[in-house]
Chains A and B, each alone.
Chain A
Amino acid sequence: MHGERKKMFRLSELEEDALKEFFNMGLGMAADSLSQMVQNEVLLTLPKLKVVPYEEATHMLMESQEEKLVAVRQNFKGELTGTALLIFPGNESLELVRTLLHEDIPLEVLTELEQETLLDVGNVILNAFLESFTQMMSVEFEFESAEFLKGSSRFLLDISSHLAAQKQSLMEGVNEDDERAFVLMMDFKTSDEEDTQHTLSGFVVLLFSQQAMYILKRELEVILSNL
């Protein structure tokens, strides 16, 4: 086990493709529900998927966004423990909510109800990812409710805040260095009455412990061998 852990964790190309496929299926469903909810066509696509150490994920996010970000977080526990984060750039999230709700009044801040709406939307999207896991794997999950977060990218990715939420379920002796993250870039497209497309980008970050990553890899291998 110790020796194995020294090796860089990698998913094979095939495994990565399979994962992406699962996620995309989930996203398609999420887009359907969102479209129904807002009575407007919403498209969700996943142009990029990367498996990187936690530090790198932080850098990626910090590079792209300096300002305040908002995020929806959902923790999951069980055999596969981790945190799913949907991160919106601050202003774009505002725009997303307002396009979805056909609001035309520019306010500088997200109102309480808008935060609630964003939480709802984020929840639908994250559920799509998490559902992909539950459907492909034989492992059992427990999910916590979605939460709304606001802050700098460093604050949002602060591992200890996620760890605190998961403390009980985390294995003893796991170093922070061992945390792995999927960073998923995703685009939201919504179109309004005039058929103008609004494209917004967000990040989905899935944080897993090293151990969880191995379970995930194992599960993927099983699935691929069954094909």
Chain B
Amino acid sequence: MADLDNSLLANALDVSAVGTIILDEKHDVVFWNKWMQKATRLPSDDVLGRSLFTIFQELKQSRIHKAIDNALSSGLPTTLSHRLTPTPFPLYTASERAEGSPRMDQMVQIKAIRNDDGNRYCCIQIQDITVTVSREHLLRNQARELQAAKEIAQNANQAKSDFLANMSHEIRTPMNAIIGMAHLALKTQLDSRQADYVSKIHSSALALLGIINDILDFSKIEAGKLTIESVPFHLDDVLNDVANLIAMKAEEKGLEVSFHVDTGVPMHLVGDPLRLGQILINLANNAVKFTEKGNIVLSIHLLKEAEYQVELHFKVQDTGIGLTEEQQGRLFQAFSQADSSTTRKFGGTGLGLTICKRLVEMMGGTIWVESQPNQGSTFHFTSLLARKDTSRRRFRLPSKEYVGVPVLVADDNPVAREILQKSLESFSFQVTAVASGEEAIFELERAAREKHPFKMVFLDWKMGEMDGVRTAQEINRRFPELNLPKIIMVTAYSREDVALAADNAGIDVFLTKPVNLSVMFESVLSALGQNTKRADHTLPRGSGCDLGPIRGANILLVEDNEINQQVARELLEDEGLHVHIANNGQEAVNCVRAHTYDAVLMDLQMPVMDGFTASRTIRSDPQFADLPIIAMTANAMAGDREKCLLVGMNEHVSKPIHPPTLFETLRRFIKPRPVGDADPKPLRTTTPAPNLKPEHRDDTPLPDQLDGVDIQVGLGNVNGKKPLYYKILKNIYSGHRHITRSIQEALDKGDHAAAHRLAHTFKGMAGTMGAKTLQETAQRLETMLKSNSTEGIAELWPPFSQEVERVMSGLEHYFATVIPAKSPPRNTIPRNMPTKEQLQPVFSQLRQLLEDGDSDALLLVAQAKEMLSGQPIHADLEKMEVQIDDYEFETAQRIFKEITVHLAI
């Protein structure tokens, strides 16, 4: 230190990269380094000995001033930051600045120092931080821009979600109308062409809804709003739904679909059956889509089993086009498809597998694929599911005597054969499996010789040389009745096709592939003579839910859209429920206060008062605490259900209305009323004159069999509704018994158009009742008549009239014997002109039905015809009947008027 003289130190300070000023106690500048000279453009001579605050007047009373005083008085140092020093030293920076100002951004440090005598001086050091400030300014601007961009993106995303929710609502409202109206239209009497059109509208609308649902699901997944339910379910029900949805498509392509569930797999589970079904349906649909010929096997194995939980391994295997490794890699990505070229053969949104993947992951599993091009693909996924109970045994034979019963299986498809064999073995039967009809006969004869005959034979319909039907006929021919095994026909084709082909082949039971284990088990028991409710399962699924206990319940339907009102009302009324309509939430609240309802179906978005507010209002009154309120909404976005439950609603069903779900939900929430419990405040019901309708009871006695008619098919056509089917049979019998004569008469008069119309109508009705042959003969006749010629009538007429004769005599027998009490009291009808009093009730009912456009009018016309047979007015009644039959209700009403005038009623 001693070697350093003052000039050396001053030189060092001159070359340092910080500005340095030293002030004495009076604020006079005693040192001003080179850096300061450059930055202030003031030479030392101009400043030395002068007060800092006369040099820079603006610094008086600034932070810098205070800091200098602080240092001089108490020795405390101060660091003055750029941002918090509004009045810095007026310095020039060396570099040009973007903003044009040459001011230097600075950081100032002010400290106290002492000389040898102990006198305090103030040392000021200034750093040029202009570059740093510019850089950070830039950085902040960028950050601000990024922030803005992020906000725009977030807003856009929110807008997208809102848009989807809105569009979902907007799309679902008309979809509900299309699907609902098509559903209702299909229940009316349509001719086969109309039925074909409407059912195609129906299925296309459902397909479109599927796509919309996929898009919604995907957006929910993106938003992390997809939820998995946890409810008890039966695995077989899920498989049943899968079978129902894919069987038809598979059949069209001639593919064999088999289900195989390992013996150890428990059936009573807890999880999300809809989502599980969604995955399986998606995979199975893909399998059908990408397979031209061969098999599709859906199998379920048990991976792990704990007391309350199981891990299941699901497999969907096809023999289709398969996937390359590269395609497999892209498979589970959104919007990606194996073949994304514009010439691709297979359509689709490409969202299905992405959704599956996410759903599987949410169910605690993984999904993967094994595949080779042109060899087929196998999609695997696992799932963790809770068990409802620990019972293992799914199918218990009713008695020990059936254990080990010998059973024969004949199927030429090895995969299907093996699965059938395993399933039957899981019921504890002793199974022999063969690959053809010939082998089956051989085995049956061998077993009979060995005095160990088969009790049941399962025959595939389509087998090489000797198909199932021929095999069955052969078995019937060869075996005496006593030793005849029960014959069960298994087919991938629709029942009616087989039933037609297998007429008189002596088949006991039909099973449709893919065979559902529960259905098979029940069929087997029924074949063995055990009483089961087999019919319930072999029927096409109708409403899927027995509404018996809640029939007659009063429902308040709150809905602003008129079409949707109609759809919901007719669906509910068809099930025997009384419907009252409120157009908005306010009306709903008023209605609830004025009447007694068993349940409220509540739309959410409505004018005047929305569904949420209405529900809250209703719930705020303690007397409605238990009134079931079910939200019915086109908003199928996540969170809807939660919102509904939050305002006190009981459940949420989404539009378009899926009738089974709606009915099931109503069933769940409406308390069945005790019989005879009169409604304290009866409602005006929208059902027209219900007391005039024929008794609608589910116990309507239907014939066990009708010649030429497949009752199961017929019942299936009317959604399993027995009363309706009864009505149709009645209609056909009373209105068309003399169809051959009517057509003949029209032809005799040369009125081809009338003849054609008669044949056309009759054909439709024959189809509806399930009289396949009758329908076909009528169809041929119709086609001929349409071309306005009678060429070939000689060939067509006899089979037609024979078939009419066959079916009508069957019906005659049925109506005569089975329900004489319900048919009009034929014997008491006077042959002479009945009195006005006698005619009055019939005609007033008839007027009402004609006004309503109800084809039940035909029943009453038939009754009137009976009463007035032999009277001249009879011809007019027949004319009216024709009009009603053609749904020309206006014309029919006109004729009716003439008749009443004539009869003076």
Q: Is the CB of A134 within 8 A of B76?
A: yes
Residue contact B81 to A143, C-beta cutoff 8 Å: no
Binds A, one of B136-144, B304-312, B461-469, B839-847: B136-144
Among B32-40, B105-113, B474-482, the stretch that binds chain A is B105-113
Tier of interface size on chain A: 20 to 34
Contact A131-B107, Cβ < 8 Å, known A117-B83, A120-B80: no
Is B81 touching A130 in the complex (CB atoms < 8 A)?
Answer: no
B605 near A: Cβ within 8 Å? no
Q: Is A227 an interface residue (CB 8 A)?
A: no
Determine the chain B residues whose CB is within 8 A of the CB of A131 once the complex forms.
74, 76
Contacts of A112 in B (CB 8 A): 129, 132, 136
The interface residues of chain B lying within 8 Å CB-to-CB of A144 are: 77
Smallest Cβ-Cβ distance to B142: which chain A residue? A105
Interface residues of B, dominant DSSP: mixed
Minimum CB–CB distance from A5 to chain B (whole Å) comes to 30
Interface presence of B737 (CB below 8 A): no
Assuming the contacts A37-B63, A141-B75, A145-B109, asked whether A113 and B81 have C-beta atoms less than 8 A apart, the reply is: yes
Contact A105 B140 (CB under 8 A): yes
Chain B residues with Cβ under 8 A from A37's Cβ?
Answer: 63, 84
List A contacts of B143 (CB < 8 A): 105-107
Given A111-B136, A116-B107: A134 and B75 within 8 A (CB)? yes
A residues 100-126 in Cβ contact with B at 8 Å: 101, 103, 105-107, 111-113, 116-117, 119-121, 123-124
Q: Complex Cα distance A144/B113, Å?
A: 10
B823 contacts partner chain A, Cβ-Cβ < 8 Å: no
Chain A residues near B82: list those with CB within 8 A.
113, 116-117
A117 touches B84 (CB 8 A): yes
The CA of A126 and the CA of B807, in the complex, are separated in Å by 108
Interface presence of B742 (CB below 8 A): no
Q: In the complex the two chains form, is A120's CB within 8 Å of B136's CB? A: no
Q: Does B78 contact A (CB under 8 A)?
A: yes
Task: State A45–B192 Cα separation when bound (angstroms).
Answer: 89
A144 to B77, CA, bound (A): 7
Interchain CB contact under 8 A, B76 and A130: yes
Q: Does A81 reach chain B (CB closer than 8 Å)?
A: no
Q: Determine if B147 is an interface residue (Cβ-Cβ < 8 Å).
A: yes
Question: CB distance B76 to A120 under 8 Å?
Answer: no
Partner of B132, one of A103, A113, A121, A145: A113
Q: CA A103 – CA B147 in complex, angstroms? A: 13
Q: Which of B49-105 contact A (CB under 8 A)?
A: 63, 66, 70, 74-85
Q: CB distance B75 to A143 under 8 Å? A: yes
Instruction: Write the nearest CB–CB distance from B289 to chain A, whole angstroms.
Output: 49
Residue of A at shortest CB range from B66? A33
Residue B133 interfacial (CB < 8 Å): yes
Given contacts A145-B109, A145-B111, contact A116 B81 (CB under 8 A): yes
User: Which of chain A's residues has its CB closest to B125's CB?
Assistant: A145
B23: min CB distance to chain A, Å? 17
Q: Which residue of A lies closest to B143 (CB)?
A: A105
Instruction: Report which of B84, B129, B144, B147 forms a contact with A120, defined as CB distance below 8 A.
Output: B84
Assembled-state Cα–Cα distance A121/B80 (Å): 9
Please indicate the chain B residues that have their CB under 8 angstroms from the CB of A130 in the complex: 76
Is there contact, CB below 8 Å, between B70 and A38? no
Residue A146 CB within 8 A of the other chain: yes
User: A209 in the interface, Cβ–Cβ < 8 Å?
Assistant: no
The answer to whether B139 touches A111, judged by C-beta atoms less than 8 angstroms apart, is yes
CA distance A38 to B147 in the complex (A): 25
The docked-state distance in angstroms from the alpha carbon of A85 to that of B81 is 19
B736-787 CB contacts (< 8 Å) to partner A: none
What's the least CB distance linking A32 to chain B, in Å? 11
Q: A116-B107, A146-B77 are in contact. Are A105 and B144 (CB under 8 A)?
A: yes
| Docked complex: B411-452 residues within 8 A CB-CB of A | none
When distances are taken between beta carbons in the complex, the residues of chain B under 8 Å from A146 are 77, 79
Q: Per a CB cutoff under 8 Å, which of B75, B78, B140, B147 touches A123? A: B78
A and B contact pairs by CB, cutoff 8 A, 18 listed = A37-B63, A37-B84, A74-B77, A105-B144, A105-B147, A111-B136, A111-B139, A112-B129, A113-B136, A116-B79, A116-B81, A117-B82, A117-B83, A120-B84, A123-B79, A131-B74, A135-B74, A143-B75
Shortest 7 CB-CB contacts between residues of A and residues of B: A120-B81, A116-B81, A117-B81, A37-B84, A105-B143, A123-B79, A145-B77
